């Protein structure tokens, strides 16, 4: 039976006509951090140790006493220290929390620089701590795109599976690339190459709909730049992949603000134009390759 699935160019057009929303709940973390009290407590603790050490050094007390508090300071540097001013200063000194924590000599040197170049007070405003946590929220977005697509697929009747037996048993299912669904296993079970430049590069999802299997790479980009351009190049490479089995499809999924910029026909910039031309070239060359955003994904699996 001939598939009634929309073509890659039809899905691309739908993606162009339906840009991503400015606010996507899948990537928003607007609730107060549940551990904020622990961050506040730890930040206060670090400040108290630093104030004590500075006082002892100013009064020229015995070194053993100051060293005792340096040990206490090192012990206080943990996963809840990321919002302290001292932690930020460690980064400004071209070092990391974990490294400094285990080097007493380096900790003392950075503390001396801190006393000299920064203001030290006891205040720890909760809203200030939360603001730093908000600024670092992007670190939480790792699997958000995959989770968003898994949720859409679940509403469409696709069952999430974690082993090959269930993958074969279910007509409509989806699996994450994982240890079980590793590159070698996927290549052997689906009898495909996944011939990327990086031979060990894993994609994100494997979607099965009857005889058809879709291998998907998902990215969420909001800004442009060197790192983002690298991610976009990796995504465009997916479009260039093809297999002998015509029931195997590749999907490059992109959402976020940059997806709108890239799909906007009115935007003209040299790098953008090159990327657009590459996408158009591969879509025409490989009918089994899809470049889609959320609207295109919904259309493809509706």
pLDDT for 226 equals 66
So what's the pLDDT on residue 1? Answer: 45
Long-range CB contact pairs, 162-165, < 8 A, 24+: 164/189
Token code pair at residue 241 = 């992949």
Asked if 187 contacts 193 with a C-beta cutoff of 8 angstroms, the reply is yes
Q: How many CB atoms lie within 10 A of CB 5?
A: 17
Separation between Cα atoms, residue 136 and residue 150, nearest integer Å: 25
Nearest to 190 by CA among 253, 251, 246: 246
Answer positive or negative: Cα dihedral of 189, 192, 194, 195.
positive
Q: For residue 182, what are the CA distances in angstroms to 205, 249, 299?
A: 11, 18, 28
Residues 14/302, Cβ–Cβ less than 8 Å: no
Burial class (CB in 10 A: 0-12, 13-18, 19+), 89: middle
87, burial (CB in 10 Å: exposed 0-12, middle 13-18, buried 19+): buried
Burial class (CB in 10 A: 0-12, 13-18, 19+), 241: buried
Residues 32, 55: Cα–Cα separation, whole Å: 35
* 8-state DSSP, 141: G
Round to whole Å and give the CA distance between 290 and 116. Answer: 57
Structure tokens at 51: 């104030």
Residue-wise DSSP of 215-281: EEEEEE--S-SHHHHHHHHHHHHHHT---SSTTEEEEEEEESHHHHHHH-TT---HHHHHHHHHHHH
| Three-state SS at 212 | strand
E strand or H helix that includes residue 92: helix 85-92
Q: Which residue has the tokens 């031309």?
A: 277
Please give the pLDDT value at position 221: 92
Over the chain (302 residues), what is each successive 10-residue block's mean pLDDT? 81 97 94 96 97 96 94 97 96 96 97 97 94 88 93 97 98 97 96 86 95 97 76 93 95 95 80 88 96 98 88
The sign of the torsion formed by the CA atoms of 254, 260, 261, 262 equals positive
CA 165 from chain center: how many Å? 30
Say what the pTM is.
0.86
Written as six digits, the tokens of 190 are: 């689906």
């Amino acid at each position: 039976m001939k598939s009634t699935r929309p073509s890659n160019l039809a899905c691309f057009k739908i993606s162009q006509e339906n840009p991503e929303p400015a606010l996507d709940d899948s990537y928003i973390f607007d609730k107060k951090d549940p551990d904020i009290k622990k961050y506040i407590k730890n930040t206060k603790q670090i400040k108290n140790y630093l104030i004590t050490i500075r006082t002892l050094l100013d009064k020229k007390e015995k070194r053993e006493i100051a060293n005792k508090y340096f040990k206490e300071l090192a012990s206080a540097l943990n996963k809840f220290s990321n919002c302290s001013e001292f932690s930020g200063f460690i980064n400004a000194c071209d070092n990391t929390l974990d490294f400094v924590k285990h080097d007493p000599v380096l900790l003392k040197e950075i503390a001396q620089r801190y006393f000299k170049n920064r203001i030290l007070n006891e205040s720890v405003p909760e809203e200030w701590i939360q603001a730093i946590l908000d600024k670092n929220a992007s670190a939480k977005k790792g699997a958000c795109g995959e989770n968003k697509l898994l949720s859409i697929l679940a509403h469409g009747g696709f069952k999430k599976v974690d082993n090959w037996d269930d993958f074969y048993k279910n007509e409509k299912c989806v699996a994450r690339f994982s240890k079980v669904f590793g590159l070698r296993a996927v290549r052997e079970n689906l009898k495909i190459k996944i011939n990327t430049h990086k031979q060990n590069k894993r994609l994100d999802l494997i979607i099965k709909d009857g005889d058809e299997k879709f291998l998907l790479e998902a990215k969420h980009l909001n800004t442009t730049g060197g790192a983002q351009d690298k991610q976009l190049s990796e995504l465009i490479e997916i479009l260039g992949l093809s297999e002998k089995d015509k029931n195997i499809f590749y999907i490059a999924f992109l959402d976020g603000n940059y997806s709108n910029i890239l799909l906007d026909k009115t935007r003209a910039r040299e790098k953008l134009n090159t990327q657009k031309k590459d996408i158009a070239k591969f879509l025409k060359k490989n009918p089994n390759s899809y470049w889609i955003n959320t609207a295109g994904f919904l259309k493809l699996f509706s």
